[in-house]
Chains A and B, each alone.
Chain A
Amino acid sequence: MTDTMHLNMGPQHPSTHGVLRLMVEVDGERILSAKPDIGYLHRCFEKTAEGLTYPQVLPYTDRTDYVAAMTNEFAYVLAAEKLLGLEVPARAQFIRVIMAELQRMANHLVWFGTFALDMAAVTPFLYAFRDREKILDLFERASGARLTYSYYRIGGVRKDIDAEFVRMAREFLDYFENQVLPEYHRLLTGNRIFELRTQGTGYISPEQVFAYGLSGPMARGSGVAWDIRKNEPYSSYDRFDFEMALATGGDNYARYTVRIKEMAESARIIRQALDGLPEGEVMGKVPRVLKPPAGEVYVRIEAPKGELGVFIVSDGSTKPYRLKWRAPSFSNLQVTEAATRGEKVADLVVTVGSIDVVLGEVDR
């Protein structure tokens, strides 16, 4: 009987993401258990929201998953609009989809870079950030900010996009499809070392997907065909033609292929939305004071990391009585222990990387 060793990975470990702490028990190189310990970035977002009016909550949603701020706002405004029974003009709906898909690409680029970095490949990280910068330029053009956009509004979006934005977006999509994706495939997809590190590690079965409530690329990597954009189309997603990225491997490599494919599909959606962009207003008719009737709503969208749900209880006042944020990485992080048990320590870093956690969202 050998002694087992307890290892603390994080919260200041360079290869964990953000301030995640993993309490790992190892027997030599084998992992016996890996328990995530969270809460280092807790900022009482849900409680704070109870003291704010409906429009005031919006800038705070940016700061939950700060790598994908646009989709957070998307989920929140959809929930508030459902509660208030507001109509959103068609142009605003299309702009929202464009921004959400650009955000998905930006999010997956960050993920792509850090995932490769977890395997000590530094170059893809720099390339991914070079290309993400172009998306941030687009966001800056549209919203005026590069990280916390505060762009969506209850009833529409803050500002219309102009012809220059459309030109820049098309230019970026051409660049992305013709240059970036082939380059990434040459760098990583066929790389033998990358394959050896990712294929067969961090296996998650379809049963585990349901048992742990996984969503997004985590579910689709295990062959579970669940994409809210397809299964329950919201906003104007039913008007676009795209494929659900799916892989059946269930390992880290499968999740990698899902995300790479998703970026290409996002580019397709953005092209269609730019082509079919309707004319008109970007802000619907919104009362000056937002006072929804008493009741409750739950709205979920397909955020880059998975199912992002917003549950709001209204007591008929101008402030939400209760707001619950169902963060995808919070649920996805639970599977860490099951996916890494029995594997080597070095694979733990890769598997945790493949979950795509942002601690701002986990802790809220």
Chain B
Amino acid sequence: MSSIIADILRSANSIVQGHLVTIREFFQKPVTEQYPDERLPRMEGYRGHPTLLVEPETGRPKCTACGACARACPNNAIELEGMKAEDGRRLPAKYRLDMTRCLVCNLCVEACPFDALAMSREYELVSWDREGLILDMPDLLRAGAKEQGLTYPLPVKAPVVEKEGEKA
């Protein structure tokens, strides 16, 4: 009989103890953030999606369409074609990133021998449809320039990139 009473008292005490822990929380700052009104700052080096960087002098992509990133990608998320610009430098004619396949693994950035790729700090990578997740060269350059602190297209007079060139 006394053991039953002791057990009841212990049970009651454990409930009180639990509530004491939670009551303490009333007097502390809430840890939740009211997204999307409040947004947490991203950590340095946060990886969003791969982007193409631009040459600040010419406004052209740094990419030379060597294809190393596409070969390194585990999911074939990158599709690209090269061409020759008027001054003989190789440039991508088409560069398409399929974000429905991308694993955000950073392997393409590491594979690029020209440091032409970087990960963005974007984390709201959502879209209403699949097409919105397929990023073409202008999208990627715009995002890349943003990471560099620039706005694409750059106000410099660049050699015409869209012109029909030699295919790779």
Contact = CB atoms under 8 A, between A and B. Distances in A.
Given A150-B103, A192-B14, 6 more contacts: A59-B103, A123-B22, A140-B46, A145-B46, A145-B104, A148-B104
A322 interface: no
Interface string A158-175: 110000000000000000
Interface of B: 7, 10-11, 13-15, 17-18, 20-22, 31, 42-47, 72-74, 103-107, 110, 119
A158 B107 CA distance: 10
A265 interface: no
Given A52-B74, A59-B107, A150-B106, A159 B45 contact: yes
Interface of A: 52, 55-60, 123, 130, 133, 137, 140-141, 143-145, 148, 150, 158-159, 183, 186-187, 190-194
A192 B72 contact: no
Contacts of A56: 72-74, 107
Contacts of B10: 192
Contacts of B110: 158
B11 A141 contact: no
Given A56-B74, A150-B103, A150-B105, A190 B17 contact: yes
A193 B11 contact: yes
Given A186-B21, A191-B17, A192-B10, A141 B105 contact: no
A250 B144 CA distance: 55
B99 to A, nearest CB: 15
B18 A144 contact: no
B105 A192 contact: no
B47 A145 contact: yes
Q: Chain B CB within 10 Å — which of A130, A145, A148, A190 has the most? A: A145
A156 B18 CA distance: 44
A259 B155 CA distance: 59
A190 B18 CA distance: 10
A144 B72 contact: no
Contacts of A150: 103-107
Given A52-B74, A56-B72, A56-B107, A144 B119 contact: yes
Contacts of B21: 123, 183, 186-187
A123 B18 contact: yes
Given A60-B74, A130-B31, A141-B45, A191 B18 contact: yes
A6 B11 CA distance: 35
Contacts of A148: 103-105
